[in-house]
Structure 1
Amino acid sequence: MFGFIVNPVAGNGRGLLVWNRPQKELERRRAIFRVKMTAKQGEAKKMAVELLQKEEVSKIIAVGGDGTVNEVISGMKMAGIPCTFGHIPAGSGNDFARGHSLPSDPVAVLEHILAEGEGKAIDLFRVNGQIAVNAVGAGFDGEVAKVTNEAAYKSWLNRWRLGKLSYIISVIRVFLSYQTCRVTLRVDGQETILDSVWLVAVANIPNYGGGMLICPGAVPDDGMAEVCVVCNVSRWSLISAFPMIFTGSHVHHPGVRFFRGQQIVIESERELKVHVDGEVSESTPITVEVEHRKQMICA
């Protein structure tokens, strides 16, 4: 039996619309399934626990955005019962879907989920005790995530299916006032002192922020996190180079450095906002640890 956790307000109401088509297809096939609808942030985590402990489902499918993905997988890990995860994207960014090459059509994704296959095991991050599925960002992008999530224009742009623009607008807003600082980065015990740091991104998939290729070399099942640091770049040089992140060509920029490791410790001379899969819930210092191939997904 499959369990579906639907965030109806994901993508400013797209969640419910997206779910309608797979639901009709499941009913047409007379499939046995359970559905839980979230009403507020944090509920998907509890629902995942309930589906595993009380309903004994074999797969849990999140219908929503990357925040819903994070909550559902976090709940699955909390329950401690092995279960395969599936995802029908309905958010504004949909980085998990993009990072794992899932179809964009909800019925096509459902076919993919219903197919009897072994799927694949992916890595997860443990961030100060929290689960991260896609990426963690400290500094500039943590501040951008905070501004984006609080912005009125996010819901308006989502309504017109222009969710990616909300992130870009927030980047410009934060850029005008953001102050860099010194960061101490330890990767598997090796320490690097970095001056004038704009951001530190720790990624499990290449993309974040609705498709930006922040860590083009990130692989979700290799047991390693890829770390991108932007530092020692002037304000105007940064904004002129910003479009490079959409193609991944920023890897050649002199102000961008990359690291890879299993344990990442980020400390800073002042407290920096940290986003975990797009939600601001931490601040520096943080420790990111890779949990190798800890979650089975439909793929």
Structure 2
Amino acid sequence: MSSKKAFFVIINPVSGNGKGKKIWTTVQRKLQYTYNIAYQFTTHTNHEIEITLAAIKKGFKHFIIIGGDGTLNKFITGVFSQNVVDSKNITFGVIAIGTGNDWIKTHHIPTNITKALALIINGKTDTQDIGCVSYLKSSLPNTYFINLCGIGFDGLVVDIVSNNRTFGKLTYLLGALKALFLFKPFNLNLTQDLKTKSYKSCFMIQLGICRYTGSGMQLTEQPNHKDGLFDVSIATKLTRWDIIKNIVGLFNGKIVFHKKVKTFKTNHLQLNFDQNKPLIQADGESIKTEDIDVSIRPKAINFYC
């Protein structure tokens, strides 16, 4: 590579109802004379992971992600699935064109393409914690997340909307209304600091690093993206009527003060479910449903802001 700064760009061409290719044309035109640019379009599920691994092996340490929260999530999983380069030496920027675009909301990264690109070009960076999900009863590779891991109700919502996000920002709200009539509560044993506590009739568990999920919902109390701790919310025995009455509270954050919601901070949890295992999502992507161990990697990667 020459002395010019090198970026590898990962583009999801179907993100944002197919905007990816068109936006990349604009971005490429603005970058190509000042930087060394390599790029690749995703073509299949988890392709972002494969692309990221290959790019890191080629020596790239600066990335631009053009896509939604799911594209970013797969990039993060790629970074933390390799040991060629310390993740703290990798920096990425995001041009968000997805449905929810929740991660960028915490960091006030604009959805305007020109303004988002300007942040990357200006070069100011911050650092961020990363969550790691390990599966206790299978040999599956770890799953990583940069925003939030949700268990239970919102895992079901993500499953419902996964193949149809044509309603834009209303997608998750419509999915949530449908999920209200399909969801079944679950029981679990939660182990923290070698102490195990049982929770019955759980509605949802949120492990937050950043603030927003589901197109702007705020379901954790005081998340901090670089304090080395998950902001945890556990809701039990919530009824359909509780949710309907508090629908505004899901978006303004007041739901966490409901008497049926418990909040705390921790850097490590083990979750063991009963036979009625809940669905789980990480950064809006459905992941394997089974008993899990969740830990945090503090200040593990850098991003342009």
Alignment TM-score, normalising by the size of structure 1: 0.91
Deviation, structure 1 residue 181: 2.4
Aligned ranges for residues 111-130 of structure 1 at < 5 Å? Answer: 111-117=118-124, 119-128=125-134, 129-130=142-143
Deviations, residues 48-77 of structure 1 (Å, cap 9, x unaligned): 1222212x2230111100111011122122
1:277 aligns with 2:290: no
Deviation, structure 1 residue 150: 2.9
Quote the residue 2:26 is aligned against: 21
Quote the residue 1:180 is aligned against: 185
Aligned ranges for residues 1-299 of structure 1 at < 5 Å? Answer: 1-27=6-32, 29-54=33-58, 56-80=59-83, 81=85, 82-117=89-124, 119-128=125-134, 129-151=142-164, 154=165, 156-157=166-167, 163-269=168-274, 270-299=276-305
Superposition CA RMSD, Å: 1.6
Quote the residue 1:160 is aligned against: none
Amino acid aligned to 1:32: N
Deviation, structure 1 residue 33: 0.8
Which structure carries more helix by proportion?
Answer: 1
Unaligned runs of 5+ in 2: 1-5, 135-141
Amino acid aligned to 2:200: D
Deviation, structure 1 residue 192: 2.6
Amino acid aligned to 2:71: T
Deviations, residues 209-230 of structure 1 (Å, cap 9, x unaligned): 1111111411110000011111
* Secondary structure at 1:201 match in 2: strand
Percent of pairs with identical residues: 25
Once residues 226 and 41 of structure 1 are traced to their aligned partners in structure 2, the CA distance between those partners, rounded to angstroms, is 29
Deviation, structure 1 residue 30: 4.1
Amino acid aligned to 2:52: A
Alignment TM-score, normalising by the size of structure 2: 0.89
Deviation, structure 1 residue 171: 0.8
Deviation, structure 1 residue 288: 0.8
Change in Cα spacing, 1:16 to 1:216, as seen in structure 2 (3 Å) is: farther
Change in Cα spacing, 1:235 to 1:38, as seen in structure 2 (3 Å) is: same
